[in-house]
Chains A and B, each alone.
Chain A
């Protein structure tokens, strides 16, 4: 049996390699926010209140591009709906916790932490206090995210506009998505979403950001039907 602190440390170490991608992503997120003209306090507060890199960038980009807050908030919801999947998978291992602990630990469920803790949970089903691993990955990522967005906000005020840092936004998302290009069903969904976004770009209130993922998810459910 591992002790609570050993499990926590295991989580910290398992998620450590992801720092290499989380830190530049956080820096970009902070820098882009101030470059777009948002108050540094608002840009930073998002890292605590939302704590989800991709959705924070999209949110800022939509608001700065003139989208309504309703569209911006809805798109954050759509992007983050993947957490429902993580929660559904993790709930099996967190069932025995009391409500307060569940409410606290939920805040720390993020992509990389989910990936690493889920691997650990599968291998150590009989361990007690498994949730300390999720706290280890989650808190480590949280601290890194806070520091790197602050760093980005400070750097962002010095980075000249000519560098075209805005281009780092699609590149960051390409980096997140590039592994999915290995699976043909995902490639289909990617192109359906991308082409829809170009076709519906002129739709009112920047609603292409909601319309295109919905069309693509519909395509995904068709793809699933053919896969069987």
Chain B
């Protein structure tokens, strides 16, 4: 089950990579579509980020004081100011650990 879906996901991913290089003339993509594709990261990743922060393991909304919300805010601030990916991830993790283990 999982193996076959990994293989299908792999084929699909490879097709996204190769389609425009080998199969399709790039001029068939309208400029509008190319512009919209530029928003794909902004459209996809929040759908992972928001539920992971605002819901607990049982699918209920967490309280405003939840350490995950605090950790995410720290990470966003550090990331915005530093433009550094590692600093972003670790500032968030460490502030989260400080709250759950020390406070």
Answer yes or no: do A and B interact.
Answer: yes
Taking beta carbons and an 8 Å cutoff, which residues of A are in contact with B? Answer: 20-21, 24-25, 28, 38, 42, 45-46, 49-52, 54-55, 58-59, 61, 63, 69, 72-73, 76-88, 90-92, 94, 99, 102-103, 105-107, 109, 163-164, 166-182, 185-186, 189-198, 201-202, 208-209, 212-214, 216-217, 220-221, 223-224
Determine whether the beta carbon of B13 is less than 8 Å from that of A83. Answer: yes
Cβ–Cβ < 8 Å partners of B64 in chain A: none
Interface size range on B against A: 35 or more
Determine whether the beta carbon of B16 is less than 8 Å from that of A170. Answer: no
Q: What separation, in Å, do the CA atoms of A76 and B12 have in the docked complex?
A: 8
Q: What separation, in Å, do the CA atoms of A191 and B14 have in the docked complex?
A: 30
Q: Which residue of B lies closest to A170 (CB)?
A: B52
Determine whether the beta carbon of B89 is less than 8 Å from that of A217. Answer: no
Given A45-B6, A174-B72, A224-B35, A88:B29 Cβ within 8 A: yes
Given A81-B16, A174-B76, A216-B47, 14 other A-B contacts at CB below 8 A? A21-B86, A42-B3, A46-B10, A49-B9, A79-B44, A80-B16, A85-B38, A171-B89, A178-B75, A189-B43, A201-B51, A213-B43, A213-B44, A217-B40
Determine whether the beta carbon of B22 is less than 8 Å from that of A172. Answer: no
Cβ–Cβ < 8 Å partners of A213 in chain B: 40, 43-44, 47
Cβ–Cβ < 8 Å partners of A82 in chain B: 16, 37, 40-41
Q: What separation, in Å, do the CA atoms of A28 and B19 have in the docked complex?
A: 30
Of the candidates B16, B42, B52, B85, which one forms a contact with A83 in the assembled complex, judged by CB atoms under 8 Å apart? B16
Q: Which chain B residues (45-87) contact chain A, with CB distance < 8 Å?
A: 45-55, 59, 68, 71-72, 75-76, 79-80, 83, 85-86
Cβ–Cβ < 8 Å partners of B19 in chain A: 84, 87
Determine whether the beta carbon of B13 is less than 8 Å from that of A52. Answer: yes
